[in-house]
Amino acid sequence: MRKIFILIIAGLLTAHASAQNSDNTSAESKWKLGVTVGYTNNTYSMDNSYQSDWQQSRRGGISVGLTGQYNVVDWFGVRMDLQWMQKNYRNSRALQVDEYNYTNDYIQIPLMADFSFGGKKLRGFFDAGVYGGYWLSSRVKGMGTNGLNNVTAEPISQSGMINSKRDNRMVFGYVGGMGLEYRFSPHWSCQLECRYYYDVTSQVKQYQDIKDYRYNGTLVLQAAAAYHF
């Protein structure tokens, strides 16, 4: 996480230096709207103190969304997205055959400052901001041992795993990203961007004496196409 923010800060300094030499003309497009599609790779973090043989590992997913941006000046803009995103993970045991593959769907709205630099057609950019979201649904598939004999493995496929008393459906966090934009016509551009979302709200509520914090950290590689006007 520190490396991501260091890269963002470096990008801000680069963007500021580039802006000193850029020409800000009234003919430049102020607004752009577009669509995004991407691949997500999520890390699920929890304390395994009382379940030492459990292991959490990453799982991939997808994201799609809408994006909009207003450019205040040539090198600085404000960007807001509306995204449907998967934050998936695997929970397995080292000493038994238990393996649970979780698929979690979220709707998120990131609000970011966008800093860009470069030429008229090809530009680099950095995003930094915050986001809020809502946990829409959860599904789990895998194999689990029988609770009575702890040996027999049974297939599991369930939906609606969210418990309103235990789970926190609202999510907030920080987001940072970097990428390239290519303006291939006066009104159209495409982007390739890498982002990292870090939840600061635990996925489960702290309603017990034993604190059980669980967080998602999601790396997203996404492409976008936008119309400038």
Q: Give the model confidence (pLDDT) of 193-204 as tens digits.
A: 999 999 999 988
Q: Return the biggest CA–CA distance within the chain.
A: 74
- Those residues with Cβ within 8 angstroms of residue 23's Cβ, 6 or more apart along the chain or in another chain: 74
The model's pTM is 0.80
CB-CB contact of 102 with 116 (8 Å)? no
The DSSP letter of residue 204 is: B
CA separation for the pair 20, 73 (Å, rounded): 11
| Each residue's pLDDT tens digit, 127-178 | 999 999 999 999 998 877 765 555 566 777 887 678 888 889 999 999 999 9
